[in-house]
Structure 1
Amino acid sequence: MPHDLYLLAGRYRLIERLGQGGAGTVWRAIDEVLDRQVAVKQVRVPEGLDPYARAQFTDRAIHEARSAGRLRDPAIVLIHDVVLEGDQPWIIMDLVTGRSLDKLIKERGPLPPEFVARVGLQVLSALEVAHAHGMLHQDVKPANILLDSDGSAMLTDFGIAAPMGGRGQFGSGGSPGYMAPERLNEQPSGPASDLWSLGASLYTAVEGRAPFERELPAAMAAAVLLHEPPFPARAGRHLGGLLMAMLAKDPAARPTAPQIRQALSAQPATATTPRRRRWWLVPAVLAAVVTLAGSGWYAAAALRVEPETGKYAQAPDPCKLLTDAQAAGIVKGTPDRGATRAGECQWAVDEQPQRRLIVRAWIERPDGDLGGPQVAQRRFASMKATRAAGKGTQGRTTWGAVSDVKGVGESAIIQNSFTFYLNSTESGRSDSIVLFRTSNLLGEVIWHREDVPVSKPADKETAIAAARLVAAALQK
């Protein structure tokens, strides 16, 4: 090994530059302590910062890298180390092979809708894990989606990731044609912003061109803010309708992650979609990525038994899973009931202290050789592991341990969180969340309370009681 190559932190010897973007530069390196290859991200520090602003930027970059390093799930790449040399942050990650989706689009043109839906499902899984831990990706685009040699999709480059609800400390980081309207308007971002970018990426894959394609970045940004994209004709009615909904200007009008997952899972196969030939197998390049536990989407055999759909052919109306009398008994008041969005219902009491009971329900469909109940079981296990890994304090929010709950569906867990108000160390808001599974259905019951004293942050009993009523209604 040539010893004149740069040695970072006395341990990581940089071998070659793999790629460069707005968030920084990725290097292939050798960890000389463990004698293995790793990926090293040299975080780009904005120019022109004074010493105080530069120090603030560096502190935030390190904090967010550490937050990403807390993620423990088979679908997420491990972050091994965060190094600071001078005022330059470096992030040490696993090194994984992959081929970017944008290169495949340039070479192959529009991709089959079924394949695009499969890619979308896997990238969605990565985003859900990040969102569950309060992190936004902020740069979802085809160039950051890799296809591994076995056909699984991977989301790369959390380099400009930021906490939810903020404008993002990396300023204009991101790509104009794939940045949600609220981000271009410098409004607070949320999970819906990442899902908008996912919709734009899948649109590009299935159509062979970006939804707001223009020659100049400024014109592209204006199109995102002011115009509607053409309906993606190659996507078909099912996938095309979903993509148009994901690209809505108003974040509240976009489908939620469970709704997107359900729609992508239901994408019909097309006669022109190759099912056994691995046509996406192409020479691999190295990059630091978020890996996804996925399998090829092609059929395992020409003849096979169709997987079990599950008990639920469609998701039930969550507003019908509790009577108003039951909800009133739970919230100890007279609540206002309303469907806040598809797949979600809320019973709210606005008098002090404010409290809300939220019920969500969605179904999983067969995926390859897995039946709907198996997919739901896998999803439940992944969400359980993700929430368990989130135990601890981040900012003003503390997440409790995940506990199993008996007597609610086939399996259920509960977790409590408490968030201090900005001007208080004595009170805040509390959420007790029950997640449960029955056959191919997943449900969530959230008991939300305001003005909760820190001495009594949890109320698991009420959340569990509500969840038992919801689960009982599903058996009727």
Structure 2
Amino acid sequence: MPHDLYLLAGRYRLIERLGQGGAGTVWRAIDEILDRQVAVKQVRVPDGLDPYARAQFTDRAIHEARSAGRLRDPAIVLVHDVVLEGHQPWIIMDLVTGRSLDKLIKERGPLPPEFVARVGLQVLSALEVAHMHGMLHQDVKPANILLDSDGSAMLTDFGIATPMGGRGEFGTGGSPGYMAPERLNEQPSGPASDLWSLGASLYTAVEGRAPFERDLPAAVAAAVLLHEPPFPMRAGPHLGGLLMAMLAKDPAARPTAPQIRQALSALPAAGTAPRRRRWWLVPAVLAAVVALGAGGWYAAAALRVEPETGRYAQAPDPCKLLSDAQAAQLVKAKPSRGTTRPGECQWVVRDRPQRSLIVRVWAERPDGDLGGPQVAQRRFASEKTTRAAGEGTQGRANRGGVADVNDVGESAIIQNSFTFYLDSTESGRSDSVVLFRTSNVLGEVVWHRENMPASNPADKETAIAAARLVAAALPK
């Protein structure tokens, strides 16, 4: 553990430890080049990883921290830099003065609904920016909401944010009482997962206790999965009804970000101007929300024309989109097939050089006035922009440019990358990744190879051929 005057990367002087959690330790430091104070997050690397897995974790952490560094919003704590030292990632962020929301709750107890709504609007803004850029926060909770001296709220810990698509490499992190049910069930995450966590955080702020408060973490997780929280009486009917809807078990039944913004802005003193019409129409609708669960959320919008779902009500089984014979022909060996997580299937050849063909698919649902295909198209465009921005050399990894691919779904792109091993300048692992979209379904094919020479890093033909087979196998 670094001592108080440890100099990180020859630049950041660690002064004091500010806090510690499951994801890492945060330090106050001095940037000796720019002579300013910063916050430095020492990312915790899981114990028991072999060198290869540790290198994978580190590279992923650095790449995702850099992706988070591109997010810009007044309610986002900026990420300035990420460095690797001692085989461990360190994330350099703005140092925000003030207190976290959880400390304010401990000091003052339940907070006024109008204040909580105002905090919710600012955190929602941060999440909307992240989601627009294809990133999920994955750890929204009162401890990660910072309140400045003027009362403005900021969302921190974007350094461990993860890309959308249900892959969630850091999906096991977070606090059980603020993790959406689908995350506890190891199901794909999406924007609705972050909004559930925001609802749980605002519930805690207005009630002075968490919605699923229990003595043991296992009991908390069980309550999130199986029980409804008590109605937050201190929140009042309007904010209380919104929070209950945000905490729905089914992601599709939760209000969208625009609906949440409209409801929070309708509260007195929460928005920038008063509104004559409240989103919540009458107390009877609120009673329906409480009595029927999140399904009642849509009662107020019963006359609204529902946007198009898209061709796929749910994502197809990825293991059925590519036959074992096709996979064997592609990888030029007899692979073993297995399901690693929901929405993903892989065919692995363990002979040297080890290689694997990974197929992932997920379906986008309507969001607000956008239909499923439009949401998928927006997600695809965001992913394309984000991946293109990652082109270049970062540490031991080199990512190529993003190129369009013809005849794979309605639209498709490919990107190649190569990463040197920690102890080598000649060999490493190679990835060719194809992302495609058809209607409201997004698919990804990863052709991964180990122990590859740096002179022969890419094999885009195999990845494209596999992606064509997968896209063609989607139900019509």
Structures share fold, TM-score greater than 0.5? yes
The alpha-carbon deviation at position 144 of structure 1 amounts to 1.1
With normalisation by structure 2, the TM-score equals 0.61
- Structure 1 unaligned residues grouped into runs of 5+: 270-296, 300-306, 316-338, 351-355, 363-385, 401-416, 431-446, 452-476
The alpha-carbon deviation at position 448 of structure 1 amounts to 7.4
Contact in 2 for aligned 1:397/1:418 (Cα 8 Å): no
Q: Deviations over 1:208-262 (max 9, x none)?
A: 1111000000001000000011111111111111111100000011011111011
| SS in structure 2 of the partner of residue 82 of structure 1 | strand
| SS in structure 1 of the partner of residue 258 of structure 2 | helix
Q: Which residue of 1 aligns with 2:13?
A: 13
Q: Which residue of 2 aligns with 1:139?
A: 139
Give runs of aligned pairs for residues 205-224 of structure 1, distance below 5 A: 205-224=205-224
Contact in 2 for aligned 1:393/1:399 (Cα 8 Å): no
The alpha-carbon deviation at position 268 of structure 1 amounts to 3.6
| SS in structure 1 of the partner of residue 107 of structure 2 | helix
Q: Which residue of 2 aligns with 1:231?
A: 231
Q: Does 1:428 align with 2:436?
A: yes
The alpha-carbon deviation at position 154 of structure 1 amounts to 1.1
Contact in 2 for aligned 1:212/1:220 (Cα 8 Å): yes
Q: Deviations over 1:373-396 (max 9, x none)?
A: xxxxxxxxxxxxx99996945699
Between the aligned partners of 2:124 and 2:193, the Cα distance in structure 1 is 13
User: Which AA in structure 1 matches 2:136?
Assistant: L
Q: Which residue of 2 aligns with 1:436?
A: none
Between the aligned partners of 2:253 and 2:414, the Cα distance in structure 1 is 28
Between the aligned partners of 1:161 and 1:359, the Cα distance in structure 2 is 21
Q: CA RMSD in A?
A: 4.0
> Structure 1 residues 139, 360: closer, same or farther in 2, change over 3 A?
closer
Q: Which residue of 2 aligns with 1:168?
A: 168
The alpha-carbon deviation at position 347 of structure 1 amounts to 7.8
User: Which AA in structure 1 matches 2:257?
Assistant: A
> Structure 1 residues 214, 343: closer, same or farther in 2, change over 3 A?
farther
Between the aligned partners of 1:163 and 1:49, the Cα distance in structure 2 is 22
Between the aligned partners of 1:220 and 1:9, the Cα distance in structure 2 is 40
74-83 vs 123-132, greater mean Cα deviation: 74-83
The alpha-carbon deviation at position 426 of structure 1 amounts to 8.9
Give runs of aligned pairs for residues 302-321 of structure 1, distance below 5 A: none
Contact in 1 for aligned 2:39/2:94 (Cα 8 Å): yes
Between the aligned partners of 1:209 and 1:117, the Cα distance in structure 2 is 16
Q: Which residue of 2 aligns with 1:253?
A: 253
The alpha-carbon deviation at position 4 of structure 1 amounts to 8.1
User: Aligned to 1:346, which of 287, 291, 308?
Assistant: 308
**Aligned positions, number:** 331
Give runs of aligned pairs for residues 18-33 of structure 1, distance below 5 A: 18-33=18-33
Contact in 1 for aligned 2:15/2:29 (Cα 8 Å): yes
Contact in 2 for aligned 1:180/1:196 (Cα 8 Å): yes
Contact in 2 for aligned 1:15/1:27 (Cα 8 Å): yes
Q: Which residue of 2 aligns with 1:437?
A: none
User: Which AA in structure 1 matches 2:233?
Assistant: A
Between the aligned partners of 1:83 and 1:174, the Cα distance in structure 2 is 23
Q: Deviations over 1:259-286 (max 9, x none)?
A: 10111111246xxxxxxxxxxxxxxxxx
Give runs of aligned pairs for residues 21-420 of structure 1, distance below 5 A: 21-170=21-170, 172-268=172-268, 345-346=307-308, 361=369, 392=388, 419-420=412-413
Identify the structure with bigger relative contact order (alpha carbons < 8 Å, sequence gap 6+): 1
With normalisation by structure 1, the TM-score equals 0.61
Q: Deviations over 1:285-336 (max 9, x none)?
A: xxxxxxxxxxxx699xxxxxxx5869x9989xxxxxxxxxxxxxxxxxxxxx
- Structure 2 unaligned residues grouped into runs of 5+: 281-300, 313-363, 371-381, 391-398, 405-409, 416-430, 444-476
